[in-house]
Structure 1
Amino acid sequence: MVSAGASALKAATLSDADVKDLSDKSCATLDGQSSIAAAKSPEARRLAKIVKGMPATVNGVPLDYKVYLTKDVNAWAMGNGCVRVYGGLMKLMNDNEVRAVIGHEIGHVALGHTKSTMQTAYAASAARQVAASAGNSAVAALSNSQLGELAEKLVNAQFSQVQESAADDYAFDLLTAAKLNRNGLVSSFEKQAKLGDENSMFSSHPPSSERAKHMRERLAAKK
């Protein structure tokens, strides 16, 4: 119990270096479990085209983009700059929509949401440790199976309504600053709404239809 308490405290005070270390290991774990599009594949070339003109870093960390060759509709980003887009999402959405989703995911990193999620996920894993030696790094305290579980928690994390809305606005501002097409911010949510928020990669709070409405209002205000 003392060890679990110490691990929970460690989770609440994860340093940026801890977050990057855990993100590196989590991303590597997921990459090892996935089929990744080769650099010269149509999928990778398309993604490179989509992100051209977008910022190359987030919080000073270089962004690393890859495509997972899967039918799943998903995308995520981690604090180490790891950005992964799933084949199902790229099939469902056009370039502007994929770009909007990526901007949203980068927003979660830039605004510190992924760090908070990392802290929560790490605490849940670390609490099951029988003991953790004092001074161990966050990664050293986790077994391989726990690291895999942590990675899955990060990918499937649900953000709060406030966090989702903030990431939406971040994506809007990012695309505006980069002078890139912002219409995908509306149509991507419309497509998610048609799929049903219960099956959406996005949190259902607020619903995708409401998020699309908010983006339409911001676009109208900019005209």
Structure 2
Amino acid sequence: MKKMTYIALACALALTGCVTTEGGSASGLSAVVSALNTTGAVGSGGSKTENKVGAAVDVFKAVTVSDEELKSVALQYRAYGDRTEKLAPPNNKYAQRLERLTRTHVNEDGLQLNFKVYLSKDVNANATADGSIRVYAGLMDMMNDQELLGVIGHEIGHVKHAHTMSAMRTAYMASAGRKAVAASSGTAAKLADSELGALGEKIFTSQFSQSQETESDDYGLAFMQKHKYNVKALESAFRKLASLSGKQGGLDQMLSSHPDPGSRADRMRDKIGGKK
């Protein structure tokens, strides 16, 4: 029976090439090992061997779920988030401002994007694999239009370079979603609200890698250059975040999941030729 555990584990690891998505920024091996550790499929002792086999097989099935199927899971999560967060209605001033800024970017770089505002004082923005980008009112209050566009460009970069897809796959494999995959023969299934909530927590409490954040920062700068926006705005956006570090609770989520904004501001300054 123990041998079967290692066979199932080997099969899961053999598929790691399938989870390396566009941009090559995520490690399939890391994703699978993380999921197996979370489920208890990697460990010692023989008393729970059958459970370990089952967990490894579940991950084996989850890792084969296609990007399109994971996008459908992301859509489910966003629908859940839009129900549970305070979503700005179309006639709200925040929603109108965001629509004005993003109306020409819904098909940016071959993507299908949608933008909405959460009426929260949190200073945050995030993106998911389906192309949904959510901006929080607290961030909009802090940023001028050009700075906000810089942050939006950064979030688009996470979608374009498939960082969001990699994060979704890792979270899905480590969540109850993998059980739904197992029950539906390797196809992403409809999740309950409790499962979607747990999935979102796994996605947004985990960090993108330093290289992924750098790649998205560079994409954001290129986005600003492409559309002839103020290229210094992304630097100033990071300066604002750095100045509020440790002063406002609403920043906790963004700062805990992103590299030091002061260093990122310096890097943007250097890239546009503004070295001190």
Task: Give 2:204's aligned residue.
Answer: 155
Q: 1:78 aligns with which of 128, 150, 153?
A: 128
Query: 1:25 aligned to 2:86?
Result: no
For 1:178 and 1:130, the matched residues in 2 are separated by 43
- Asked whether the 8 Å contact 1:125–1:150 carries over to 2, the reply is yes
Once the two structures are superposed, residues 55-111 of structure 1 have per-residue CA deviations (whole angstroms, 9 ceiling, x without a partner) of 322564421111111111111111212111011111111111111111111111110
Q: Which runs of 5+ in 1 are unaligned?
A: none
- Asked whether the 8 Å contact 1:3–1:131 carries over to 2, the reply is no
Task: Give 1:92's aligned residue.
Answer: 142
Q: Which runs of 5+ in 2 are unaligned?
A: 1-50
Of structures 1 and 2, the one scoring higher in RCO (CA 8 A, sep 6+) is: 1
For 1:41 and 1:47, the matched residues in 2 are separated by 10
- Asked whether the 8 Å contact 1:57–1:81 carries over to 2, the reply is no
Query: 1:171 aligned to 2:220?
Result: yes
SS of the counterpart of 2:224? helix
Normalising by structure 1, report the TM-score. 0.87
For 2:58 and 2:82, the matched residues in 1 are separated by 27
Normalising by structure 2, report the TM-score. 0.72
Q: 2:154 aligns with which of 104, 108, 114?
A: 104
Task: Give 2:265's aligned residue.
Answer: 212
Task: Give 1:137's aligned residue.
Answer: 187
For 2:177 and 2:112, the matched residues in 1 are separated by 32
Instruction: Answer with 3-12 or 211-220: which moved more.
Output: 3-12
Task: Give 1:6's aligned residue.
Answer: 57
Q: Among all aligned residue pairs of Structure 1 and Structure 2, give the percentage whose two residues are the same amino acid.
A: 42
- Asked whether the 8 Å contact 1:23–1:80 carries over to 2, the reply is yes
Letter in 1 for 2:132: C
Tell me how far 1:132 sits from its aligned partner: 3.0
Instruction: Answer with 32-41 or 196-205: which moved more.
Output: 196-205
Q: Measured at CA, do residues 40 and 122 of structure 1 come closer, stay the same or move farther in structure 2, by a change above 3 Å? A: same
RMSD: 2.4
- Asked whether the 8 Å contact 1:7–1:126 carries over to 2, the reply is no
Aligned residues between the structures: 219
Letter in 1 for 2:93: P
